[in-house]
Amino acid sequence: MANESSKKKDIAQKSNLGPAKPSKNKKIYLLDTNVLVYDPKAVFSFDGAEVALPSVVLEELDRFKKEGTDRGRNTREVIRILDGLRNQGSLGTGVKLDNGSIVRVVFMRRDKMPLFPFELSFEDNQILYDAVTLKEQGYDVRFITKDLNARVKADALGIATEDYIKEKISIDDFYKGWITVPVPAVVLKHHDPQILQELSQDTDLAVNEYVVLESQHNSYNYRVFRYLGRNKFVPVREPALRWPIKPRNVQQLMAMDLLLNDDIKLVTLFGPAGTGKTFLALLIGLHKVLVEDAYEKMLVARPVVPLGRDIGYLPGDLQEKLYSWMLPIYDNMDFLMHSATNGAHLDVLEEEQHRGKKKKGPGKKRRKRKGAMESLDNLVKRGKISLEAITYMRGRSIPFQYIIIDEVQNLSPHEVKTLITRVGEGSKIILAGDPYQIDSPYLDFSSNGLVVASQRFKGQKLFGSVYLSTSERSELSQLGGELL
């Protein structure tokens, strides 16, 4: 047993030290656990460099692997990747990848513990200790983590630290899906304004990007066109729905145009709270399923990323848990029902007033009355709407459905990829969310799946995106968002 213990110690010491004398300032990337969970293929993202995984990261992965959450699934994928690398060589001394990088596991050195200001009983601090050790060995250490506080600690220790972002998307430069061009009011009267051709030649317009021609002196006087590519534009007009609900601003008009177009299979709607993202997706989804019969049913799902305890802690069976989690969907449906019912009531009053002023002749047609809307529970019972947790969508193929995923800003690009690849024949998927309100601790505006998906799909014929900036909630809600 003593000999076996001695062998393990020798292996650990060799793995600790890595190359005996690294070349001066040789760069090494030390990855935090959250980076691997965010992107299971992160080890392949550092071409020609050395990538180090602290041993404590493997311990954390071991704990996460049994979870039924997205973190658990991503963790299991990471472990499978590392196991595949193990078959190519020793992770203790380093495995060379096809891109020229080397991946190895590093261990804490306990034989010569330097002065360290943070408590080593915490795993995050043990990773930072590894960073300090590698720096003492002569490496130019780059600590890669999505944990803000870990980056603060690393900076205090003199360790260079970075967030893990494959591509930086600026808050100011992200793809909004539309541009506004001020023009003289007379231009809006032209059937095919010449300025559109000038824009298509001078501006890098993406397919399905909108151009809002707006009067220079009256922002409420405008016309909207969608770019089809090859210098072609199509005018956007207000749609006629079964229910008397209309877009309240130009951004909602563009969103409804995308949602109603069956040729556009992927739509991203994003913007601050109260702009109507979920409301519009539900409204058009109901129209497509109940009126046009274009899809068999509407599937609505939300990620389980709570501010407090997750869905597993909620009382009741799965359906009762989902009811609590889907309350925002019920709220939007209640508002839809109220708007539709109120609109139908106003139609009746208008018709009665019209009939009172002018009697209906025998040859006159009776005005078609727009009906009210069914409740969400009735639609669920009839199989026209399905409410699901994203957890249960993996591994499925979902054909002929109108799919709405809400709160997508809380999903990583890898998770969004998993959802989009579930979309089957004849289906359409809408990703909606507010990138300014992210509950996931390791995501931000630039790295969340909603913004990244919009940026990556930009210019594809089957994709469209609209950023909604105008809040249509109550005056108090809008004022609260501005002042608080």
Instruction: Report pLDDT for 311.
Output: 47
Distance CA 117, CA 156 (A): 10
Name the pTM for this structure: 0.74
Q: Is the Cβ–Cβ distance between 201 and 223 less than 8 Å?
A: no
How large is the angle between the packed helices 70-86 and 413-420, nearest 10 degrees?
A: 100
Instruction: Report pLDDT for 420.
Output: 93
Domains defined along the chain, listed by start = 10-162 (3.40.50.1010), 178-337+372-483 (3.40.50.300)
Q: Which residues of the chain have pLDDT under 70?
A: 1-25, 109-114, 167-168, 170, 304-325, 340-373, 392, 394-395, 474, 477-478, 480-482, 484
Distance CA 481, CA 484 (A): 6
Any bridge partners for residue 210, and if so which? 178, 226
Distance CA 184, CA 303 (A): 46
Instruction: Report pLDDT for 159.
Output: 94
